[in-house]
């Protein structure tokens, strides 16, 4: 019986260790936490987080497929992304609500918005004045929304822009 208890303890330790590896070390609130939590009832609402430990491990193991991505990811501590489904009309309303909240809150600045015939297809937000500490990328496509948050100390936008050119 003692042996079985010992095995279970060992297993639980290993499981907790495994889960612990995936927890983001930084619990700072992102745009997802601030403006998208209220939509958690939407279809297929899902948040995934690449915690600081995971980003660090991926960097250290050289797992990125491109050196430019590796360089950018050295500036990133945590990556978080959200996606869910809703009707295209509702998604446009959500974007309008988020935009209004961001303008009012004065935390995030709209960096770039791509709009065709009054339909928004993507918006980029940044946080931080001199140093960008958060980069948010929202894309809408046929009833599907995706929000990606890159959190770091100083994210260089030019490095990201030149990524396609360097490929």
Interaction between residue 163 and other proteins (CB under 8 A): yes
Q: Is 161 a residue that touches other proteins (CB under 8 A)? A: yes
d(CA 62, CA 27): 25
Helix (H) or strand (E) holding 139: strand 134-141
Exactly one of 52, 122, 128, 156 binds other proteins (CB under 8 A); that residue is 122
151 makes contact with other proteins (CB under 8 A): no
What's the CA gap between 62 and 73, in Å, rounded?
A: 11
- State the nearest-atom distance from the C-beta of 133 to other proteins, in Å: 16
CB of 71 to other proteins, least distance (A): 11
Check binding of 124 to other proteins (CB under 8 A): yes
Q: Distance (Å, rounded) from C-alpha 157 to C-alpha 58?
A: 21
Length of the chain: 167
Candidates 63, 96, 100, 119; binder of other proteins (CB under 8 A) is 63
Taking the least distance from each CB to other proteins, the nearer of 3 and 41 is 3
Total of residues contacting other proteins (CB under 8 A):
39
Report the 3 state secondary structure along 27-84: CCCCHHHHHHHHHCCCEEEEEEEECHHHHHHHHHCCCCCCHHHHHHHCCEEEEEEEEE
Question: Which one of residues 81, 90, 128, 156 is an interface residue with other proteins (CB under 8 A)?
Answer: 81
Q: Residue 52's CB: how many other CB atoms inside 10 A?
A: 17
Residue for token pair 């960097």? 59
**Chain positions contacting other proteins, by CB under 8 A:** 1, 3-4, 7, 11, 14-15, 18, 22, 48, 50, 54, 58, 63-66, 69, 72-73, 79, 81, 112, 114, 122, 124, 135, 137, 139, 148, 150, 157, 160-165, 167
């Amino acid at each position: 019986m003692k042996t079985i208890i010992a095995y279970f303890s060992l297993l639980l330790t290993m499981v907790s260790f495994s889960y612990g590896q995936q927890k983001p070390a930084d619990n700072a609130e992102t745009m997802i936490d601030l403006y998208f939590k209220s939509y958690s009832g939407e279809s297929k609402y899902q948040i995934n987080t690449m915690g600081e430990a995971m980003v660090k491990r991926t960097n250290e193991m050289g797992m990125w497929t491109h050196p430019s991505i590796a360089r950018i990811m050295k500036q990133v501590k945590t990556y978080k992304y959200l996606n869910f489904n809703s009707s295209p009309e509702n998604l446009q309303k959500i974007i309008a609500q988020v935009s209004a909240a961001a303008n009012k809150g004065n935390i995030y600045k709209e960096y770039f918005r791509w709009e065709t015939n009054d339909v928004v297809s993507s918006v980029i937000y940044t946080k931080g004045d001199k140093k960008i500490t958060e980069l948010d990328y929202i894309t809408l496509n046929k009833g599907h929304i995706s929000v990606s948050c890159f959190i770091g100390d100083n994210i260089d936008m030019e490095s990201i822009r030149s990524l396609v050119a360097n490929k």
